[in-house]
Chains A and B, each alone.
Chain A
């Protein structure tokens, strides 16, 4: 990772001196490179970095320069880093943060400095602060859980749900979204419980689930937590239909969960299982560079960099307002198509695209529906 960063910095530096005529688009990236969510930050950076390298290698009119800042999932640091990126590095847009509360904390800053913010944070309130400068490049918690719940009820025939979420903003957003989605269908989760983020032994919660008679389990939080939950359920001899949101879409979830996550159904914006040759090429290229399958976060940030690139290409101006206006103009499909398909943002800045419903079979993802 650090080798990559260093290498890319060197590459960018050399590129700049070689092609003096090129104009530089500076994009800021804020995310957790250390701390509890470092693994998620990895997807964010590599996704953005991959597209930036491609654009730079193509040698077009513009060159992308990424300025990456670590926030260690600490929102104070997120805000500090954002101010640095905007006022010191003069970036044209900021990607981040990955952690919803920190993305939320960034909003007043990006609004004050009129800088577009593209975040994969799913917390509902991020786009509800009335800022014109924040765009959610992921499907929010409400959209994700609505699709997941509907699929579980209609296609998997489940009706007895247990919900366990990690006690933070992400988990609470998802769990409550899921609960609301069930309520809309006249259902109630049989178990609805949170676990402290640092906890690793869930025998107690699983016992409760067993006693409740639930047949499906939606866990939400870090993928490590969901994988552990699955493993411990298996150890207790419980066979549950596991359900997960994009938080579990990382290939690490399968790697860590092993046999225990077999049969789990997930929603994800991007899946390496899609046979589309364009997507397969993307997957192969990412895998070759970074040694693992890309996940939704990778694809989202990959597309976001291209979106900013397109905004500049179309207007000929490297300007924050232009980038913001371009993103805001994506109201109908057809204007900008990325690896995730056609991009659109609604009035609040929420992206929407269809989610894949995938199942894990034999350690691989298989598409059930889209």
Chain B
């Protein structure tokens, strides 16, 4: 490759890297001020691109002026969202995960709103500058690229100056390093948080105006950059300068990789590099710090158990559940059975995730990967090796468990770093499904997966599946219930609550975490196997990051640290969009809105309602 091509690639990489840096800065600032990963950061980019488009086409202002106006406008949106939604949740000191789900709801709702306002088709920006390239140092450069680079680097320089040289900036940095001490010196944490959201949103919006002329404005524009932007932040250690450099580096590396090696494995390389960076540089130093699930309620022995205290009431509950189950089996129509079956399959995987997130306090954004491993394992075992269904499902669980064990070293990381690492791990697994074509048939997926059969008798009816799936779910539930109400389960919660104290009580924290992760992965594997034989067609698309996020949502909506909550959460999150079908375009606005309201007013999840009702019932009797 000649030097000129190389220069061209680097320049192009820097341009896209600028955008990663800006969006990544939004993540980094929020993360440092509030310990929150703000999923809605991508939607700030989207808002920026659309508001910019509207301003350009209606006012005819010059690009630079529009850029500034958009940054201000989206910054104000950020402040508004912080005031109305995030601050009330922060003030309640809800678990961080709840806040995360609230931003996820915000992201979903904003995207759906954008579709209603601006339509679902991408829109091209008007031509801003002459297409005639400018020659700079022998490179063909578009005027637009120069503007993007200039404005992007300008914003970064301004931010750097702000945090280094202004009183507000310096006190922000102090507060992010040590909130308690900073508070003693009169730094107002609330004002800081508001400032953070304003700046994050503003740089996100600015990034939107920068990339939209290159890539069109569309409702999904934010999604295409957030993962990379996140990676930029991680590479830079979520520092201000670090994130800026991280984004630029990522852009250059990515573009060079696509230009030099095959792009089939480009993202595998990117994510693997990210994992390596995390593992090498982000070893946890202290075993203290706020747990992501802090404040969550949990049941670890039957002392505060719903089922304890009164065996008769427990029996009544079980009998009631059984009656409900039977009534549903007999009365529900095919469609209701179908969507319930899908929800119950999800519930099996979610129980596993509940163990990992709710009980052990380990963040996982890669659970769908194990779900996928189970689905592929069972499919290949039955189709290629002729293994009978009844054996293939447990073997699929075992395969997923093995996969879990293989990636378990990432559990050395904690908090957000673990979240990013599991995200990268999930992406890598999905990319391998795409690229190991000899095994998985790549993007085509595998169709014609046999129905479950038991000694020659084939299961086909929805009713049959309902019995099978709820049976497996009941078994998994029972096993996990025993697991969590044991010495082992208590040690998991102890690790979650306070790793330092847990270890000082003799608990091998790392081993317990790994065991929980492996058991959780096995649950996902079993669920994946059932899914494959139920839906009869699988492709890598079903096991994406979004599927993982949905499972986390199910856990949080159901209630962290509650197994029945996990099941109810899975049912609610899976069935809600189906029930909202009548709302058409407003469906996702309402769904996202409900997620937010939930996190604002029912932070303990659906399990909390159950607990309250139970306690009330107990009080009435007493």
Contact surface of A with B, Cβ cutoff 8 Å: 1-2, 5-6, 33-36, 38-39, 41-42, 69-70, 75-77, 79-81, 83-84, 87-88, 101, 104-105, 107-108, 112, 123, 125, 129, 167-169, 171-173, 193-196, 198-205, 207-208, 210-211, 224, 227-228, 234-237, 252, 255-256, 258-259
Contact = CB atoms under 8 A, between A and B. Distances in A.
13 contacts: A34-B115, A39-B122, A42-B120, A84-B335, A84-B338, A84-B578, A104-B447, A201-B12, A203-B8, A203-B258, A204-B260, A234-B131, A235-B142
Given A194-B264, A237-B140, 19 more contacts: A34-B587, A38-B115, A39-B121, A75-B542, A79-B342, A83-B339, A88-B333, A101-B537, A125-B444, A169-B444, A169-B541, A172-B443, A173-B444, A193-B263, A201-B251, A201-B254, A204-B9, A204-B263, A235-B133
Interface in B173-209: none
Contact of A200 (B224, B263, B338, B541): B224
B552 to A, nearest CB: 17
B214 interface: yes
Contact of B443 (A79, A83, A168, A236): A168
B223 A258 contact: no
B338 A83 contact: yes
Given A36-B220, A39-B121, A172-B442, A211 B5 contact: yes
A86 to B, nearest CB: 8
A236 to B, nearest CB: 7
A258 B434 CA distance: 33
A129 B267 contact: no
Nearest to A113: B334
A282 to B, nearest CB: 21
Q: What 3 A-B pairs come out closest when comparing CB atoms?
A: A204-B258, A38-B120, A204-B259
A236 B8 contact: yes
Nearest to A168: B443
A316 B122 CA distance: 44
Contacts of A196: 263, 266-267
A240 B25 CA distance: 38
A252 B541 contact: no
Given A38-B120, A258-B124, A101 B578 contact: no
Interface string B326-354: 00000001110011001000000000000
B536 interface: yes
B165 interface: no
A83 B335 contact: yes
Nearest to A237: B140
A76 B115 contact: no
Interface in B255-289: 255-260, 262-264, 266-267
Interface in B1-60: 1, 5, 8-9, 12-13, 15-16
A84 to B, nearest CB: 5
A167 B214 contact: no
B447 A129 contact: yes
A28 to B, nearest CB: 12
Given A107-B447, A193-B262, A70 B587 contact: yes
B312 interface: no
Given A70-B584, A168-B541, A210-B5, A224 B342 contact: no
B150 interface: no
Interface in B76-129: 112, 115-116, 119-122, 124, 127
Given A39-B120, A80-B338, A169-B445, A195 B9 contact: no
B535 interface: yes
Nearest to A5: B584
Interface residues of B, number: 72
B111 to A, nearest CB: 8
Contacts of A1: 119-120, 585
Given A42-B121, A259-B131, A112 B460 contact: yes
B360 interface: no
Contact of B263 (A107, A172, A205): A205
B335 A205 contact: no
Contact of B215 (A123, A194, A200): A200
B227 to A, nearest CB: 8
Contacts of A168: 443, 541
A33 B263 contact: no
B581 interface: yes
A203 B539 contact: no
Nearest to B431: A196
A122 B522 CA distance: 36
B321 interface: no
A32 to B, nearest CB: 9
B612 to A, nearest CB: 32
Contact of B259 (A87, A172, A195, A208): A208
Nearest to B211: A200
B428 interface: no
B218 interface: yes
A105 B342 CA distance: 14
B121 A169 contact: no
A334 B131 CA distance: 51
Contacts of A237: 133, 140
Nearest to A87: B334
Contacts of B254: 201, 204
B359 interface: no
B216 interface: yes
B588 interface: yes
B259 A205 contact: yes
B448 interface: yes
Interface in B435-484: 442-445, 447-448, 460
Contact of B127 (A75, A208, A211, A258): A258
Nearest to A259: B131
Contacts of B309: none
B215 A228 contact: yes
Contacts of A79: 338, 342, 535
Contacts of A201: 12, 15-16, 214, 251, 254-255
B409 interface: no
A205 B227 CA distance: 21
Given A202-B258, A204-B255, A171 B342 contact: no
Nearest to A292: B121
A173 B444 CA distance: 8
A75 B539 contact: yes
B610 interface: no
Contacts of B257: 204
Contacts of B536: 105, 108
Contacts of A5: 584
A194 B263 contact: yes
A256 B443 contact: no
A42 to B, nearest CB: 7
A17 to B, nearest CB: 20
Nearest to A228: B215
Nearest to A37: B120
Contact of B255 (A6, A105, A203, A227): A203
A98 B577 CA distance: 20
Contacts of B448: 129
Interface in B213-251: 214-216, 218, 220, 223-224, 227, 251
Contacts of B587: 34, 70
B35 to A, nearest CB: 27
Contacts of B339: 80, 83-84
B215 A87 contact: no
B539 A255 contact: no
A330 B262 CA distance: 45
